[in-house]
Amino acid sequence: MAASAVYLHTDPNPYKFTGKERDAESGLDFFVARYYSSAYGRFLSPDEFTGGPEDAFSSSDPLPPGPLPYADITNLQSLNKYAYTFNNPVRYTDPNGHDGIEDFFTALDFVVGVFRGASASISFGAAPGSRPNESDSLTSRVGQTVGTAIVGGIGISATIGGVGTVAACSSSGAACAALPVVLPKAVAGTSAVVGAAKNSLDVILTPTQKSGQGPKKGSSGGPSAGKRVTPKQREQILQENDGKCVFCGKKATQVDHATPRSRNGNTKKENLQPACLGCNSSKGAKTSAEYIRWLKRKKIP
């Protein structure tokens, strides 16, 4: 077996990355709606095909096409109409050249979540890796809720079914009374109910993973109000969010004051965030919140 597979132009197989056909003349990958350039790492035309996104289950249009039919305003990466799957190809795929979809990993997260929720409930959190933790995705947490509910439900029915009665009769045999008894099944059922209740609390109270850092709210005033960042602060902030711009996900080269210096923004960590040159300059004297509102209003060409 070869040490590595490198796709060259001479490769007779025209189906390349995620099974899309590569045009031999242009070297571009055909994504139904658009061509994707492996060389440039982006689509060569913007995503604004009319028709709106397709619902994966009903094949109907869930939303009427608006000014940004393939953009999700809560995911700023989706505003980049040339990017492939929000610049996150490990997590998303793009079957038709429009929006990226989270498919395989979502399903896997959910199924693993169901098993984790069930085993954490049965073991009172002792089963390794079963308890909720802060790196869980929201999907995994939903799965854990389902697993926990299943164990709780089985526990309730086992508890009810495990309580029986025996006839206790006096030695003379004259009077018999039905006395309730608790069978081992009911004990196990109660334990499952208590374990599920405990895990439900953990599932609710443990924070889930933040998807990226996201823009900061900002902070103003104090001794560092209106000050520039020091080279050391700059170095630290540029490592946040994997070195990517908090607004668009491109490589960050700038440190942005979430609340601008001109408006008393300080150099506390909660006011400094990595940004690309484009976002930092178009943000100008706006706060993070104002800039996001501005992005939403602005029609992306």
Which residues are near Zn ion by CB under 5 A?
A: 245, 247-248, 250, 276, 279
The string over 169-197, giving b where at least 16 C-beta atoms fall within 10 Å of a residue's C-beta and e elsewhere, is eeeeeeeeeeeeeeeebbebbbbbbebbe
Taking the complex as a whole, the smallest distance from the CB of residue 214 to Zn ion amounts, in Å, to 13
The Cα–Cα gap between 115 and 122 comes to 11
Taking the complex as a whole, the smallest distance from the CB of residue 255 to Zn ion amounts, in Å, to 13
The Cα–Cα gap between 261 and 270 comes to 14
Q: Is 113 helix (H, G, I), strand (E, B) or coil?
A: helix
User: Is 200 or 254 the residue whose CB approaches Zn ion more closely?
Assistant: 254
One-letter amino acid for residue 79 of the chain: L
Taking the complex as a whole, the smallest distance from the CB of residue 235 to Zn ion amounts, in Å, to 19
The Cα–Cα gap between 26 and 79 comes to 26
Taking the complex as a whole, the smallest distance from the CB of residue 53 to Zn ion amounts, in Å, to 24
The Cα–Cα gap between 231 and 235 comes to 6
Residues with Cβ within 8 Å of residue 126, at least 6 apart in sequence:
none
Bridge partners, residue 78, by sequence: none
User: Is 122 or 258 the residue whose CB approaches Zn ion more closely?
Assistant: 258
Check residue 101 and report its DSSP letter: B
User: Is 248 or 258 the residue whose CB approaches Zn ion more closely?
Assistant: 248
The Cα–Cα gap between 195 and 151 comes to 9
The upper half-sphere exposure of residue 272, i.e. CA atoms within 13 Å in the direction of its Cβ, equals 25
Taking the complex as a whole, the smallest distance from the CB of residue 31 to Zn ion amounts, in Å, to 24
User: Is 151 or 255 the residue whose CB approaches Zn ion more closely?
Assistant: 255
Check residue 188 and report its DSSP letter: H
User: Is 31 or 43 the residue whose CB approaches Zn ion more closely?
Assistant: 43
User: Is 135 or 281 the residue whose CB approaches Zn ion more closely?
Assistant: 281
Taking the complex as a whole, the smallest distance from the CB of residue 252 to Zn ion amounts, in Å, to 7
User: Is 140 or 241 the residue whose CB approaches Zn ion more closely?
Assistant: 241
| Whether 115 contacts 147, CB under 8 Å | yes
- The three-state DSSP-derived secondary structure of 226-261 is CCCCCHHHHHHHCCHHHHECCCCCCECCEEEECCCH
Taking the complex as a whole, the smallest distance from the CB of residue 247 to Zn ion amounts, in Å, to 4
